[in-house]
């Protein structure tokens, strides 16, 4: 059973390693990540978040977009090939930082290459929410959380608020 790790779990701060061989185990993990993403109403999940330090992410933003036929996206070794100078501001949240949402500035368009579970190399160009989501998930693989993308002041406020919320629920009955 996979479980989502939440901050400040140290595995969320580690760099995931490339997948060298796509085995049945890898495909099984990706399928379990997708199940967990749907169960938790997330639109993306990186392997670090379930304690697996492999470069894998799953995404399904649900909305209509040119790549809907690829959904749910299962990306092995995703890599940003190009990012636009144009930026987009989107209010992000994260299953590993529950309860927090903040506006983050990212590139509006990205070109990303990745390998499918079937071993096919793909390269897609995406914009908007899907581009935001891909950047958020690749950040996870590098041990970066969306909070790190905020101003120093916002980071402090967000973590303070998070800790307060966290403490409140710590002693609560199960
Ligand atoms: Ni996240």
Question: Domains in the chain, start-ordered, CATH in brackets?
Answer: 10-166 (3.90.45.10)
Per-residue pLDDT at 122 = 96
Using the mean position of ligand 1's atoms as its centre, give its distance from the Cα of residue 23 in Å.
25
Using the mean position of ligand 1's atoms as its centre, give its distance from the Cα of residue 137 in Å.
6
Per-residue pLDDT at 69 = 76
Catalytic residue among 125, 137, 156, 163: 137
pLDDT band at 70 (very low <50, low <70, confident <90, very high): confident
How many Å apart are CA 13 and CA 57, to the nearest integer? 16
Using the mean position of ligand 1's atoms as its centre, give its distance from the Cα of residue 128 in Å.
17
Per-residue pLDDT at 152 = 97
Tokens of 100: 């927090």
**DSSP string for residues in 83-105:** E-SSEEEEEEE-TTSTT-EEEEE
Q: Are 112 and 79 in contact (CB under 8 A)?
A: yes
DSSP 48: G
Give percent of the chain with pLDDT exceeding 70: 94
């Amino acid at each position: 059973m996979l479980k989502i790790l939440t901050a400040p779990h140290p595995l969320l701060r580690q760099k995931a390693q490339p997948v060298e061989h796509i085995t049945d185990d890898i495909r099984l993990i990706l399928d379990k990540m997708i199940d967990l993403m749907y169960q938790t109403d997330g639109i993306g999940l990186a392997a670090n978040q379930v304690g697996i330090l492999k470069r894998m992410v799953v995404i399904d933003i649900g909305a209509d977009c040119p790549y809907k036929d690829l959904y749910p996206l299962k990306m092995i070794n995703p890599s940003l090939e190009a990012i636009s100078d144009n930026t987009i501001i989107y209010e992000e949240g994260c299953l590993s930082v529950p309860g927090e949402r903040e506006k983050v500035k990212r590139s509006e368009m990205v070109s990303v290459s990745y390998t499918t579970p079937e071993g096919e190399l793909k390269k897609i160009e995406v914009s908007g929410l899907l581009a935001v989501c891909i950047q958020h998930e690749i950040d996870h693989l590098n041990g970066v959380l969306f909070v790190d993308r905020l101003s120093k002041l916002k980071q402090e406020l967000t973590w303070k608020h998070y800790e307060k919320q966290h403490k409140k629920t710590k002693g609560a009955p199960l």
